[in-house]
Amino acid sequence: MIRYDLCLAWNWEYDRDFLGLLGQAFRRRRLFLFKVSPGGLESSMASLVRREATAGVFLDRASEADVRFLPLVDWALGRGVHMLNAHEKAVRAMNKACMHLEFITAGIHTPYTIILSPWTEQAQLENLDLEPLGTPFFIKPAHGGGGEGVVHEAETPAQVAVARREFPNDHYLLQAHIKPATLGSRPGWFRVIYCGGLIFPCWWDQETHVYMPVTDAEAELYGLEVLTSTTVAIAGVCGLDIFSTEIAMTPARIPVAVDYVNHPIDLRLRSTTPDGVPDAIVSAIADRIADLTRSHLMRQAPAP
């Protein structure tokens, strides 16, 4: 049997640069990486099922978008393989309605939000008061990513009615827009990446989606240390090892989580695409995943 240290499921062509960095991080630590792509999924599954290969840790960056990878997830669950971003926690974190309520319970600031039942359960909404949301407001399905189904500039109940029919079995969130503070010459809008206890706060331009790491001097000048503490609190709620979150700093210097938990995270490199993650951050994430893998394997090793 070939024993790999990490089995990584991936299906996005733009992950190749990240996979290259991850492979380097594993080789430096003398760890073995088993990469399962769509083209190799069938043969890889056969090897795992026949016990010709196995792995100590599993990371899924594919099944959310490609159901063909779900048997690989089932294999990991059935064999008790340790998961980075445990499947049940990842599924729960995808539900924005669930995360919204848990964030509030944990004291994490969120935009004013109205959660609506699925259209199939309640087609007609009685006495829906949109005034507290202000205009415009967001309409978001509770599940899905990449902005799918999101209405950014909603103003009327009719728009809500139409939007709910797009994903009739899903809850919907009606969410107020947050106006960020101006910090220096930039809006106080941030995307923060979390990986195994490491936190990477970045300025994030809503129009260009360009990342710019927050410097220590900027954190001290504008009180941005709160980005770290808020992200730690979010990690405690969602329980994931690797995710990103979006946080707006209001004029009152209140950090508001505006896009709760994103995973799998986009790890395209800045050096290859303008709105990619800075290369140094992606490299640090690759190193951290390798270290998390090694730490878990060491804990599981039998005592001498």
| Pairing outcome for strands 242-249 and 189-195 | antiparallel
Please name every residue paired with 279 in a beta bridge, in sequence order, or none if there are none. none
Q: 112-176, which class in CATH? A: alpha beta
Tell me where in the chain the CATH 3.40.50.2300 domain(s) lie.
2-85+284-300
- Establish how many alpha carbons lie within 13 A of residue 278's alpha carbon, considering only the half-sphere containing its beta carbon: 15
Return the CATH fold of 2-85+284-300: Rossmann fold (3.40.50)
Tell me where in the chain the CATH 3.30.1490.20 domain(s) lie.
112-176
Looking at residue 301, what is its pLDDT? 66
* Tally: H helices and E strands in the chain: 9, 15
Task: Flag whether pLDDT at 304 surpasses 60.
Answer: no
Per-residue pLDDT tens over the stretch 73-93: 999 999 999 999 999 999 999
pLDDT band with cut points at 50, 70 and 90 for residue 146: confident
**Integer CA distances (angstroms), 104 to 110, 182, 209, 215, 233, in order:** 7, 25, 27, 29, 11
What average pLDDT does the chain have?
Answer: 95
